[in-house]
């Protein structure tokens, strides 16, 4: 039997076409206090789009937030995203109590948190 999780957090994924757009989206989500942290990772994607096989380089955003903010976070991503149909995947994850408390508390201006 496993221990019950110390804390629940939301992890969400989306992608943007380039680093400039990804950083702009991340900063907006952080400034609106909808995310505690957004990790950016370059990647290459191969996918179907409008009946054709496509390939592109893009930036993946891993957004760390509180379950209570999921609806507002989702709405903001849909509003701010540069794609007509942005990737939007999310799930609840278990975390250590300290890290979960930090995410759920969302940092105040000037506050430092743990490394992402």
Classify residue 68 as exposed, middle or buried by CB count within 10 Å of its CB (0-12, 13-18, 19+). exposed
**Residue with token string 């019950």:** 4
CA–CA distance, 46 with 57 (Å, rounded to integer): 9
Locate all alpha helices (DSSP H) within 1-116, ordered by sequence: 19-31, 70-80, 97-105
pLDDT of residue 106: 66
Q: Does domain 9-105 have CATH number 3.40.50.300?
A: no
pTM confidence score: 0.84
Which pLDDT score, from 0 to 100, does residue 109 have?
A: 42
Confidence of residue 5 (pLDDT cuts 50, 70, 90): low
**Tens-digit pLDDT profile for residues 35-48:** 999 999 999 999 99
pLDDT tens, position by position, 55-106: 999 999 999 999 999 999 999 999 999 999 999 999 999 999 999 999 988 6
């Amino acid at each position: 039997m496993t221990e019950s999780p110390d804390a629940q957090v939301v992890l969400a994924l989306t992608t943007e076409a380039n680093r400039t757009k990804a950083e702009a989206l991340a900063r907006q989500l952080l400034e609106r206090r909808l995310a505690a942290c957004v990790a950016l990772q370059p990647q290459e994607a191969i996918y179907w789009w409008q009946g054709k096989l496509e390939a592109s380089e893009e930036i993946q955003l891993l957004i760390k937030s509180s379950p209570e903010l999921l609806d507002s976070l989702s709405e903001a991503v849909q509003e701010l995203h540069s794609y007509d149909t942005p990737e939007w995947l999310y799930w609840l994850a278990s975390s250590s109590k300290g890290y979960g408390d930090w995410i759920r508390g969302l940092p105040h201006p000037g506050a430092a948190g743990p490394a992402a």
